[in-house]
Chain A
Amino acid sequence: DTGVSQNPRHKITKRGQNVTFRCDPISEHNRLYWYRQTLGQGPEFLTYFQNEAQLEKSRLLSDRFSAERPKGSFSTLEIQRTEQGDSAMYLCASSPPDRSSGNTIYFGEGSWLTVV
Chain B
Amino acid sequence: QKEVEQNSGPLSVPEGAIASLNCTYSDRGSQSFFWYRQYSGKSPELIMSIYSNGDKEDGRFTAQLNKASQYVSLLIRDSQPSDSATYLCAVNSNTGGFKTIFGAGTRLFVKA
Interfacial residues, chain A to chain B (CB-CB below 8 A): 31, 33, 35, 40-45, 48, 50, 55-56, 89, 91, 95, 101-110
Q: Are A102 and B98 in contact (CB under 8 A)?
A: no
Interfacial residues, chain B to chain A (CB-CB below 8 A): 4, 8, 31-32, 34, 36, 42-46, 49, 51, 88, 90, 92, 97-105
Q: Are A31 and B98 in contact (CB under 8 A)?
A: yes
Chain B residues with Cβ under 8 A from A35's Cβ?
Answer: 102
Q: Are B100 and A45 in contact (CB under 8 A)?
A: yes
CA distance A74 to B21 in the complex (A): 35
CA distance A50 to B99 in the complex (A): 11
Given contacts A40-B104, A102-B31, contact A108 B43 (CB under 8 A): yes
A1 CB to nearest chain B CB (Å): 15
Chain B residues with Cβ under 8 A from A55's Cβ?
Answer: 97-98
Residue from A35, A44, A91, A105 with most neighbouring chain B CB atoms (10 Å): A105
